[in-house]
Amino acid sequence: MRPSTISMPAMTRLAVCLAVLTAVAVAQAQEPAKNASEAAKDAPAAATAKADSTAPVTPTVTPSGKVVLRENLYYYDAFNRRDPFRSLIDGAFNQSDRMDRVNLSAVQLVGIVRGEVDRFALLEDASGYSYILRVGDRVHNGSVVSIGEDELVARVTNFGQTTTVRLRLVGR
């Protein structure tokens, strides 16, 4: 077997690396001894600080007569603002009975929206209030039967007599 030969520059680099690693190991071995001696010196101060942080809070009384348990470092001015932690969808849903009051003789059909599955009729009364209806929705004394390309058909019962009401799309 032939012995391996290492060049002189490689041998020098290896010796330098070993010297650096040895110096680091010696420094780390001496450091815990320093930390232990410093900790022994600072032990009374650390115990006092720890005791201060766990000490019970003593209430103080201000000149105005208020009892203060701790100092307020921050104050949130909540005047005329909503509670940021309160749910936005809190409470029950109030279903409007406004659709039951749509009087088909007082509105006009202004638009029809067609979707893949359903159609919606857009109605508007004289005061500008808008209604959105679809097949099956209730109207005054009746319900919507169908919505075509340009008309809405509803069945309305007045005084026991059922009639079909057709609203045609108005041009604007």
pLDDT tens for each residue of 69-89: 777 777 778 888 888 888 877
Calculate mean pLDDT across residues 133-137. 92
Q: What counts of helices (H) and strands (E) characterise the chain?
A: 1, 9
Residue 142 lies in a domain: yes
Between the ranges 9-18, 40-49, 95-104, where is the mean pLDDT highest? Answer: 9-18
Would you say residue 41 has pLDDT above 80? no
Residue 82 lies in a domain: no
pTM passes above 0.85? no
**One-letter identity of residue 122:** L
Q: Write the CA distances from 139 to 8, 65, 107, 120, 165, integer angstroms.
A: 102, 65, 11, 14, 11
Tally of structural domains, the chain: 1
Q: Structural domain of residue 130, as residue ranges?
A: 99-168
Residue 2 lies in a domain: no
CATH code of the domain covering residue 163: 2.30.30.830
Distance CA 131, CA 114 (A): 16
Decide: 85 and 128 in contact? Cβ < 8 Å. no
